[in-house]
Amino acid sequence: MTQPVNPPVRLLMGPGPIDADPRVLRALSTPLVGQYDPWMTATMTETQELYRQVFGTRNDATMLVDGTSRAGIEAALVSLLAPGDRVLVPVFGRFGHLLAEIATRAGAEVHTIETEWGQVFPPSVIEDAVRRVRPKVLAVVQGDTSTTMNQPLDELGAICERHGVLLYTDATASIGGNPLETDAWGIDVVSAGLQKCLGGPSGSAPITLSPRAVSVLDGRRSIEAGIREADDVVSDDPIRSNYLDLAMILDYWGPRRLNHHTEAASMLYAANECARILLEEGREAVIERHATAGRAMLAGVEALGLRVFGDVAHKMHNVVAVEIPDDVVGDQVRGAMLEDHGIEIGTSFGPLHGRVWRIGTMGYNARKDTVVRTLAALEHCLRRAGHAVPQGAGVDAALDVHADPAVDADRTAPVGAPA
């Protein structure tokens, strides 16, 4: 006999996914409705408005791409970039490499600048590169979970404006937990996902496009032959993907509701509920909650005598990279966390593989009790692995931060950098 799906109960404290908010799980289990049902079109329209607020934008072109965050990234890049177009990608971690890779496959002429993992770029370095490369698009990750760094974006819009460049950012890991102001910062295109600070499952990619970005798509508009009407004009250089063609996806969400894919109704419900939960609590309050939980986790791991990787002043609120002590095997401790405590923490990629664990405090799990449970379990697993740790110090430090979130709030000095 096959068994029904019955996953173990886990506490997901890695760099994503995290436990979905129970309200989102309930939304996922509600009945399916066809995409032309008036209730459904109204719910799609409502979801667009919710995400305008989440993104901090008035962009009409705000919608969901069906697929994981990577679908949103690929939709943005393949739709904005025609073969031969120049794109500049500042790379400060794994996801910068992903943007470059996707842009390469889209046939773009890709230029990268790189900085050491654990650092971000000063805006002046990016502007120098923009001046040199003269790209059509500057594509940059906001928060890169591979390094935990949060690239400042607030000055990049003005730089792009000065040089006539479109600004795209992947805010999957950062949105909700860290400030992001699409319009005020002059960002043309932002894509995201649900499974980090928005407290949902992966599988839907909210995206927003400025009128300037939409006008780029308009030049490459294509409408499938079977649904095209006599006066529809189509480009002879269409976007090189059908499923991820943002012009088509816009026509689907827009007033014409031109048929494209079958809306992933359950994911739409989840995305709608994620946004609603965030906006009910308030954008600022949610960022504050992530800031507090993140500082509590940081204080906790440091109180356990562990070192933190990277430039802490530029760390995302919602994830911390903890250097693995020399006297333990990282994967054994991670295994014990899962086996003995039901808690998942993250491993790492590339240059950080085997060097750091990544511990997330995001979305539904950015809470005092989850931070405390994780620190208590980590202390226990380290001791069992033979690494001396001060008893109770991690939990105490985290509770102190939660008791007085103002303590340490202005911490800006980098710490834990290799001596």
Ligand X SMILES: *Cc1c(COP(=O)(O)O)cnc(C)c1O
By CB under 6 A, which span of 76-84, 137-145, 237-245, 374-382 interacts with ligand X?
137-145
By CB under 6 A, which span of 66-74, 241-249, 268-276, 297-305 interacts with ligand X?
66-74
- Least separation in angstroms between CB 142 and ligand X: 7
Among 43, 59, 69, 150, binds ligand X (CB under 6 A): 69
Closest CA to 248 of 273, 226, 265: 226
Is position 314 an interface residue for ligand X (rule: CB under 6 A)? Answer: no
In angstroms, the CA 284 to CA 180 distance is 11
Q: Token pair 């419900």 is at which residue?
A: 269
Among 74, 144, 263, 344, binds ligand X (CB under 6 A): 144
Stated length of the chain? 419
In terms of CB distance, is 135 or 143 closer to ligand X? 143
| Under 8 Å between Cβ of 147 and 111 | no
Measure CA 381 to chain center. 29
Closest CA to 81 of 206, 188, 186: 188
- The helix (H) or strand (E) run that includes residue 290 is helix 283-303
In terms of CB distance, is 170 or 245 closer to ligand X? 170
Among 137, 138, 159, 173, binds ligand X (CB under 6 A): 173
- Least separation in angstroms between CB 198 and ligand X: 11
What are the residues whose beta carbons fall under 8 Å from the beta carbon of 195, sequence distance 6 or more? 16, 17, 18, 68, 69, 201, 202, 363
Is position 95 an interface residue for ligand X (rule: CB under 6 A)? Answer: yes
In terms of CB distance, is 271 or 303 closer to ligand X? 271
Is position 117 an interface residue for ligand X (rule: CB under 6 A)? Answer: no
Q: What is the DSSP string of 349-389?
A: -GGGTTTEEEEE--GGG-SHHHHHHHHHHHHHHHHHTT---
Contact set for ligand X, span 2-21 (CB under 6 A)? 16
In terms of CB distance, is 100 or 372 closer to ligand X? 100
- Least separation in angstroms between CB 249 and ligand X: 17
What are the residues whose beta carbons fall under 8 Å from the beta carbon of 312, sequence distance 6 or more? 298, 411, 413, 414, 415, 416
- Least separation in angstroms between CB 47 and ligand X: 18
**Is the Cα torsion angle 236, 239, 242, 246 positive or negative in sign?**
negative
Residues touching ligand X: how many (CB under 6 A)? 13
Is position 151 an interface residue for ligand X (rule: CB under 6 A)? Answer: no
* Position 100, amino acid: A
- Least separation in angstroms between CB 76 and ligand X: 12
Contact set for ligand X, span 196-225 (CB under 6 A)? 202
Assign residue 305 a region (left: φ > 0; alpha: ψ between -120 and 50; beta: otherwise).
left
Q: Token pair 């105490």 is at which residue?
A: 396
| Under 8 Å between Cβ of 228 and 259 | no
In angstroms, the CA 374 to CA 329 distance is 18
- Least separation in angstroms between CB 207 and ligand X: 13
In angstroms, the CA 161 to CA 83 distance is 23
Is position 321 an interface residue for ligand X (rule: CB under 6 A)? Answer: no
Is position 370 an interface residue for ligand X (rule: CB under 6 A)? Answer: no
Q: What is the DSSP string of 49-64?
A: HHHHHHHT---SEEEE
By CB under 6 A, which span of 139-147, 271-279, 286-294, 302-310 interacts with ligand X?
139-147
- Least separation in angstroms between CB 297 and ligand X: 17
By CB under 6 A, which span of 170-178, 290-298, 333-341, 347-355 interacts with ligand X?
170-178
- Least separation in angstroms between CB 145 and ligand X: 4
In terms of CB distance, is 157 or 206 closer to ligand X? 206
In terms of CB distance, is 55 or 397 closer to ligand X? 55
Among 19, 66, 74, 170, binds ligand X (CB under 6 A): 170
Q: Which residues bind ligand X (CB under 6 A)?
A: 16, 68-70, 95, 141, 144-145, 170, 172-173, 193, 202
